[in-house]
């Protein structure tokens, strides 16, 4: 008999690869997507496509309006930042075409500190919701695509947070205190984007269905210049795998 697992699925590269990894490990997967009224709603469509593509047992989308609180470029009218290290020098999309970006390290590309796209307590909220469903499903494992490398600025993507949440989960649930503890699994936490993409490709993930951009055009094209696009572009480049994304600047 297969064991159930809840997998948080946003529709981006990391959560899609995490879902594929959960399937590889033999789990019957229940995908949970949170429509938090994010600006980039198109990722919900991507999540549906991926859930179907990777044949999950069930896919739930739950609505929770985090714009009620705001506090992030993704849930308020703050401007989604485009690459700041380079923005004073050149347009990042131009820099990309000119082959400048690909020579920089991730540290040089990414903003220092915690990005404006940080959403207060997002992973705490998402994991809490996954925990609720996992308890009802009798699933011991909750998968999250948290990654401490690419966005080391996000505090809720670090192993120490994941560990602390697991501890709280096991003290705050019926299942936890009855001695059948939950495990929060973040299999990508120490992988680079390139390694993640290579893993996903080896597991059959069709990345053309995924979506990463924080600031897509109304027609759904990726901007190519936000932090998330830049990390994606560099990831495919480093992985030596063609990037299937259509960027607004017309480059693959």
* Nearest approach, Cβ of residue 201 and a copy of itself (Å): 31
Query: What sign does the CA torsion over 83, 207, 153, 119 have?
Result: positive
Instruction: Find the binding residues for a copy of itself in span 38-77 (CB under 8 A).
Output: 60, 62-66, 68-71
Q: Which residues of 163-186 are buried (b: 16+ CB within 10 A; e: fewer)?
A: eebbeebbeebebbeeeeebebbb
* Nearest approach, Cβ of residue 134 and a copy of itself (Å): 8
> Contact between 98 and a copy of itself (CB under 8 A)?
no
Q: What element of type H or E holds 19?
A: helix 13-24
Q: Please say which residue, 32 or 225, places its beta carbon nearer to a copy of itself.
A: 32
Distance CA(139)–CA(29), nearest Å, equals: 9
* Nearest approach, Cβ of residue 152 and a copy of itself (Å): 11
* Nearest approach, Cβ of residue 160 and a copy of itself (Å): 5
Distance CA(137)–CA(30), nearest Å, equals: 9
Q: Which of 10, 31, 109, 118 is the binder for a copy of itself (CB under 8 A)?
A: 118
Which runs of E-coded beta strand occur in 22-162?
28-35, 58-63, 141-143
* Nearest approach, Cβ of residue 124 and a copy of itself (Å): 4
> Contact between 177 and a copy of itself (CB under 8 A)?
yes
Q: What share of the chain is helix, strand, coil (3-state, %, to 5)?
A: 40, 10, 45
Q: Please say which residue, 123 or 198, places its beta carbon nearer to a copy of itself.
A: 123
Could you tell me if 196 and 21 are in contact, meaning their C-beta atoms sit under 8 angstroms apart? Answer: no
> Contact between 176 and a copy of itself (CB under 8 A)?
yes
Q: Please say which residue, 9 or 197, places its beta carbon nearer to a copy of itself.
A: 9
**Footprint of a copy of itself (CB under 8 A):** 60, 62-66, 68-71, 114, 118-125, 127-129, 131-133, 135-136, 155-156, 158, 160-161, 164-165, 167-169, 171-174, 176-177
């Amino acid at each position: 008999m297969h064991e159930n697992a809840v997998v948080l699925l946003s529709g981006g590269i990391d959560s899609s690869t995490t879902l594929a990894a959960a399937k590889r490990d033999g789990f019957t997967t229940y995908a949970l997507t949170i429509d938090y009224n994010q600006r980039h709603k198109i990722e919900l469509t991507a999540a549906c496509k991926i859930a179907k593509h990777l044949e999950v047992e069930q896919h739930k989308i739950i609505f929770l309006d985090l714009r009620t609180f705001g506090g992030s470029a993704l849930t308020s009218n703050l401007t989604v930042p485009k690459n700041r290290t380079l923005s004073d020098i050149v347009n990042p999309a131009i820099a990309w075409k000119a082959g400048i970006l690909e020579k920089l390290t991730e540290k040089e590309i990414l903003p220092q500190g915690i990005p404006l796209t940080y959403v207060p307590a997002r992973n705490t909220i998402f994991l809490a919701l996954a925990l609720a469903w996992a308890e009802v499903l009798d699933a011991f494992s909750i998968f999250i695509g948290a990654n401490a490398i690419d966005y080391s600025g996000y505090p809720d993507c670090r192993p120490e947070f994941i560990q602390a949440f697991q501890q709280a989960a096991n003290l705050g649930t019926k299942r936890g205190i009855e001695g059948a503890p939950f495990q929060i699994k973040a299999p990508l936490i120490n992988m680079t984007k390139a390694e993640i993409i290579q893993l996903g490709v080896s597991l059959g993930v069709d990345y053309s269905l995924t979506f990463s951009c924080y600031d897509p055009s109304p027609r759904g094209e990726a901007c190519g210049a936000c932090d998330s696009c830049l990390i994606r572009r560099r990831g495919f480049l480093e992985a030596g795998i063609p990037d299937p994304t259509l960027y607004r600047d017309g480059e693959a």
